[in-house]
Amino acid sequence: MLIGFMGAGKTTVGNILANLANLPYIDIDEVITSEQGMSVSDIFAKYGEKEFRRLEHEKLKELANTKAVIATGGGIVLNPENRKVLKNTYPVIYLETDPEVFMNRLKGDTTRPLVQQKSAEEIRAIFEPRIAHYQDSADFIVNTDNRNQQEVATAILAMLDK
C-alpha cells in the first residue's frame, strides 16, 4: 500500500511495482472516479470532501486483503479508521516528499481539488498536519526527492525483501 501526499509519485511507482511483482495495480481514487463517473474535483464540487472521504473509506475496507499493489489518495490517513485498516492489512510504504518537490510537481495541476489555485502556504497547511499520520501509518518510509520512480520502486522492493 502506497501512501503520501499528492505529487509523491504513488501512481507511477505503483504501476512499476505492480509490473515488477506481477500483481495488479489499484489506485483507490481511480476506482472511485470510475464508479462515480466523475473526477475527484467533480465529486468534491458536487458532494463535498466529506462524501469523497466516505467513498474512500468504503473502498479501502472493500479492498482489504486484495493481493495487489494499491495506491491511495493523500488524505486517506486523515481518518483514524483508515489508519487502522492500513496498519492491519498491508505493508504500508510512505512515499515521503519534500514540499518544495511536490509543489513543483503539482504546478498547474487542475485535477486535485485541494491544491487547485492554492498558494504554497495553503498547500503546506494541508500537507503538514498529515506528516505525522503518514509516518505513523507506515511500515517503511522511502524518500522520493532525489530518485526517479524506478529507483523508488527498486528501493521499495529491496525493503520488502528483507
Binding region? 7-12, 29, 53, 74, 112, 130, 147
Question: 19-22 contacts: CB < 8 A, separation 24 or more?
Answer: 20/153, 20/157, 21/69, 21/157
Amino acid found at 35? E
Burial letters 129-161, b for 16+ CB under 10 A, else e? ebeebbeebbeeebebeebebeebbebbeeeee
Annotated binding site for substrate: 29, 53, 74, 130
Annotated binding site for Mg(2+): 11
- In three-state secondary structure terms, 56 is helix
Amino acid found at 11? T
H/E stretch holding 11: helix 10-21
Annotated binding site for ATP: 7-12, 112, 147
